[in-house]
Amino acid sequence: IDFDLILENIKDLNLLVGEGISHIEHTPRGARLRRPEPFPLTLYQNGIVMGNGAFQPYQHPATQQCLQDIMDGYLPSELQERYPDGV
């Protein structure tokens, strides 16, 4: 697993989906700027944890697909349904 490539691509993907950019949120009394909530990804020596999910070992096929998506420069396919605009 190329952790340097994963970290580099995560930075690029974060910029792509608008990291640090605030969005207008309408409220009953007007509007306010709101930043999107971050989605944590924790890399361990033997697996990952995405969001508040369970630990996923690197040997698990879904984990391998997730990391391959990131290494290929894409958002993880398992997150695309829940976050169609990126996370």
The 10s digit of each residue's pLDDT in 35-74 is: 877 888 999 999 999 988 899 999 999 999 999 999 998 8
Nearest to 40 by CA among 80, 68, 79: 79
State the pLDDT at residue 80: 79
Percentage of the residues of the chain whose pLDDT score is greater than 70: 97
Please say whether the beta carbons of 87 and 39 come within 8 A.
yes
Secondary structure element (H or E) that encloses residue 34, with its range:
strand 30-34
pTM assigned to the model: 0.74
Please say whether the beta carbons of 73 and 61 come within 8 A.
no
What is the dotted CATH code of the domain comprising 3-82? Answer: 3.30.420
Mean pLDDT to the nearest integer, 14-43:
84
- The residue ranges of every structural domain in the chain are 3-82
State the pLDDT at residue 51: 87
Please say whether the beta carbons of 63 and 78 come within 8 A.
no
Tokens, residue 30: 């007007």
State the pLDDT at residue 35: 81
